[in-house]
Structure 1
């Protein structure tokens, strides 16, 4: 791969050199009339990181991206880039590039002319333009396509042109607003890996917007999960999946078994919870100091891969919780089997590795459903906040 400068010196308004690509958002809100679309958002994005704003449609993620870009201004709060307050500074004076969902390429230009356009506006010399455009054509995998018109390109090639056009200006921050959403699944996956590889080479700060959980977890160093204009959780893809801090995050990231429950008793070191499948006993000592109250409602959450479906009569290891059930459905998913199990009046989903005891079960068989107490998470159904967490937390 051609040697490309990892990061160029960025400038804001007065030409003073600054650090590269850090973003600080402090207590930012955005309202349109009486409607508040962002509420008191605070987060820090480190230089050279790949951060994804993740959430359902209407959660405020694109609004936050537009605030960073300077297309709109916050109603309250402050946005800083490289330690400098950029409130009121126009988009063209911020050290950012942007890839839009609709790409906004010039259809009558060639690939080369599209990528070179911004450099020409900056009055860069023809020799330097030729050198830099050549670098980025190679970086995004468009070798030999420089003279093609945009109409002659595939969807994936057009995405690469849009990416190169932004990156050739060497911004310290690149903002990407769902740029892969219109592509078919296979091409989308290819470009996800390409984007991550390019980001590692350039060490540019990427802020990526998507509603696709798999896309976010595959590409990101950090994920910002948003809902209804608020940040629900910030963390690594692994931490938000394994240790969600709110009921929304638990349900939005991946699949989860959800059981309504009530704290029945607190006896010494044990906590007993009534659920639709029966009484669950959990060690109070793993509650990390959070208080449980007898009679309080709660929501029990279990990831499918933490739920074991075994033949009836299988012994449970010490500390493991076990219930009887009936296999209602089995679906092969490559190396995994997805079991739908009915325990009393509740359906539970488990994911089991193919092989061993998993192959001895069939639809209609009675079975044993087992899980470890450390994999249980409890949330308040009233606030959605983490009520109790069992196991290690970051």
Structure 2
């Protein structure tokens, strides 16, 4: 178990404040946040490159807060990789093994094993300057794994790579994690976190905004910042009113006067309702369904988004919905088309504030 307890550090106007996390062996933690939030600083604290002003780091009960870099159970892969340019790929991967005075036969065996696992066996005689970004990232991973760290620290490992290379590296990182390796991965891309990690920590201005599973963080954000960073586009200011005759439902009144029903909430509270765009159903007329919320609107804009379409709708408030391209074409959606927006009360979350 990696225990991070109230870690704090200050650099000029920047501060990392009271970060506390627990990461179990085999966890894949994504440290998520905007540039400058403090994610990489936290990695450097874990690696021993930066000493915290306050707090404690424990690994399996042992205090490693002040331990030397070489005595820590971690391996750090920076975004710029830092491969040794004068050494070929074989020697880069073998570096930690040679420092440990591992016998040559054992070095050769281990380097070739790691090269096969990371898909760089055909590159062993090449030099870093001749490698593509994806190849260099795989070599950097192999070199770090050669030191057999218990925890792998990755600083934006998928940055500046095209879609194909990212897909291949994601598969490799899943494979490494499935082998039992504990991994901590810094990123500003919530989709990376959602598809790779089983734990997510969102850092905002040096503080921990939220920590939990991807489902907990992305489906139930606790702050407006986390909600927006998680890709939720329908975040609407509101105040709550009693929902007479609606059982367990609460009623939110939006800025345009529209009523939105959802589960939970305290009357007279102010805050935001959040509606995931994938939970919105579009139709050409009112639906007879279990969806408690239905609004009439007009299509303002439609644009490509990944493999589907995003539709911007004026329903008295601005809403964004997602559609497959097939559904988009079948419905004949164009700018100015009247359309109905439906979503269940259970799809709506309320955020006080």
Quickly name the TM-score band, shorter chain normalised.
Answer: over 0.9
2:11 aligned residue (32, 38, 41): 32
Against the structure 1 CA distance between its residues 102 and 36, is the aligned structure 2 distance closer, same or farther, given a 3 Å change threshold?
Answer: closer
For residues 79 and 46 of structure 2, the distance between their equivalents in structure 1, rounded to whole angstroms, comes to 17
C-alpha contact (below 8 Å) 1:352/1:358 kept by paired residues: no
Q: Helix, strand or coil: the match of 1:282?
A: strand
Shift of 1:229: 1.3
Q: Structure 2: any 5+ residue segments left out of the alignment? A: none
What does residue range 158-307 of structure 1 map to in structure 2 within 5 Å?
158-201=136-179, 203-265=180-242, 267=244, 269=247, 270-282=249-261, 286-287=263-264, 292-294=266-268, 296-307=269-280
For residues 249 and 180 of structure 1, the distance between their equivalents in structure 2, rounded to whole angstroms, comes to 22
Q: Helix, strand or coil: the match of 1:323?
A: strand
- Say whether residues 1:351 and 2:322 are aligned partners: yes
Q: Helix, strand or coil: the match of 2:19?
A: strand
What does residue range 306-345 of structure 1 map to in structure 2 within 5 Å?
306-312=279-285, 314-318=286-290, 320-331=292-303, 333=305, 336-344=308-316
Q: Helix, strand or coil: the match of 1:105?
A: coil
Partner of 1:377: 349
Against the structure 1 CA distance between its residues 120 and 281, is the aligned structure 2 distance closer, same or farther, given a 3 Å change threshold?
Answer: closer
Partner of 1:69: 47
Q: What is the root-mean-square deviation in Å for CA atoms of aligned residues?
A: 2.1
For residues 148 and 345 of structure 2, the distance between their equivalents in structure 1, rounded to whole angstroms, comes to 50
Partner of 1:18: none
1:148 aligned residue (122, 126, 144): 126
For residues 136 and 290 of structure 2, the distance between their equivalents in structure 1, rounded to whole angstroms, comes to 57
Q: Helix, strand or coil: the match of 1:278?
A: coil
Shift of 1:25: 0.6
Deviations 1:121-169 (A, max 9, x none): 1111111111111111111111232112222222211111111111011
Against the structure 1 CA distance between its residues 49 and 246, is the aligned structure 2 distance closer, same or farther, given a 3 Å change threshold?
Answer: same
Shift of 1:321: 0.9
- Which stretch shifts more, 228-237 or 333-342? 333-342
Q: Helix, strand or coil: the match of 2:122?
A: coil
- Which stretch shifts more, 142-151 or 300-309? 142-151
What does residue range 108-127 of structure 1 map to in structure 2 within 5 Å?
108-127=86-105
Q: Helix, strand or coil: the match of 1:63?
A: helix
For residues 190 and 95 of structure 2, the distance between their equivalents in structure 1, rounded to whole angstroms, comes to 34
C-alpha contact (below 8 Å) 1:26/1:41 kept by paired residues: yes
